[in-house]
Amino acid sequence: MRTVISTIATTTTVTTSTITTTTATTATSSSSSSSTTTITTATAATTTTPSCTSSVGLGNILMVVMTSGWTQYSYSYVATNSEPFLLFTTTNTAGPFMIYLDDVSVVDISVPSVELLENPSFENSTTVPTGWITWCTSSCSISVNQVTASGCHTGSGNNCFMNRCRNYYDYIGQSFSAIIGHTYNISFWINQAAPGSGAFYATIN
């Protein structure tokens, strides 16, 4: 008598620069002689970080040319994977104008009292945004990319994230745990210190 048992395990890992999905398949065969053979195969698909020089693939939640004054945006998202990545992108082709991000929130609408982001309003930071990932800052011809307590939205605290990237694109983002099929509310406040040519993108992957 010969039996075959197959198991499939899928894991998703989010790192600071890549999102990697690995699928492993294990087949185990046994026979009446009690001999056992195990064969394991694995495949991986990798999505690299967005380009520092292009907006291609950005803005599936929001793309807006910035204006002066704090504005709140809200988006309803149905999870398609268990570790979505929320990404904010800024660019400014001219002018000394800062773009500010504050009071970010992600909640499952079935449990709206539970915040799913770490340090969503940047209160647990001094200059470096704890819990968030930033990149492409060094590509900007003029760059400011830090937490500040000046000029912030009067919401949940004193701090906010201040950004300026001239001629290129830089990023700040964070993953969160989700249940596939659940609906999540994503909201945030943004402001540009003065009218100019700044653009802001919000993307969920």
Give the sign of the dihedral formed by CA 174, CA 178, CA 181, CA 185.
Answer: negative
CA pair distance 97, 156, nearest whole angstrom: 24
Whether 72 and 138 share a structural domain: yes
- Whether residue 30 lies inside any domain: the answer is yes
Specify the pLDDT at position 34: 46
Q: What digits encode the pLDDT tens for the residues 181-191?
A: 999 999 999 99
Whether 70 and 164 share a structural domain: yes
- pLDDT of 150 higher than 70: yes
Q: What digits encode the pLDDT tens for the residues 101-133?
A: 999 999 999 999 999 999 999 999 989 999 999
Would you place residue 96 in the very low, low, confident or very high pLDDT band (cuts 50, 70, 90)?
Answer: low
Local structure of 132: helix, strand or coil: coil
The beta strand positions in 59-131, using DSSP E, are 62-65, 71-78, 85-92, 99-108
Specify the pLDDT at position 77: 98
Whether 78 and 28 share a structural domain: no
Candidates 99, 118, 55; CA nearest to 194 is 99
β-pair partners for 64: 200
Would you place residue 193 in the very low, low, confident or very high pLDDT band (cuts 50, 70, 90)?
Answer: confident
Candidates 139, 138, 162, 137; CA nearest to 149 is 162
- Whether residue 32 lies inside any domain: the answer is yes
Whether 113 and 30 share a structural domain: no
- Whether residue 87 lies inside any domain: the answer is yes
- Whether residue 88 lies inside any domain: the answer is yes
Whether 44 and 121 share a structural domain: no
Averaged confidence pLDDT in the chain: 79
Whether 136 and 196 share a structural domain: yes
- pLDDT of 5 higher than 80: no
Mean pLDDT of 140-144: 77
- Whether residue 34 lies inside any domain: the answer is yes
Tokens 């210190």: give the residue. Answer: 193
Specify the pLDDT at position 95: 65
Whether 17 and 83 share a structural domain: no
Specify the pLDDT at position 48: 52
Whether 22 and 86 share a structural domain: no
Domain span including residue 144: 62-204
Whether 76 and 176 share a structural domain: yes
Please state whether the predicted TM-score (pTM) of the whole model is above 0.85. no
Instruction: Name residues whose C-beta falls within 8 Å of residue 10's C-beta, 6 or more positions apart in sequence.
Output: 21, 22, 23, 24
- Whether residue 57 lies inside any domain: the answer is no
- pLDDT of 31 higher than 60: no
Whether 148 and 68 share a structural domain: yes
Whether 96 and 26 share a structural domain: no
Q: Which of 5-9, 71-75, 90-94 has the highest mean pLDDT?
A: 71-75
- Whether residue 84 lies inside any domain: the answer is yes
Better pLDDT: 88 or 46? 88
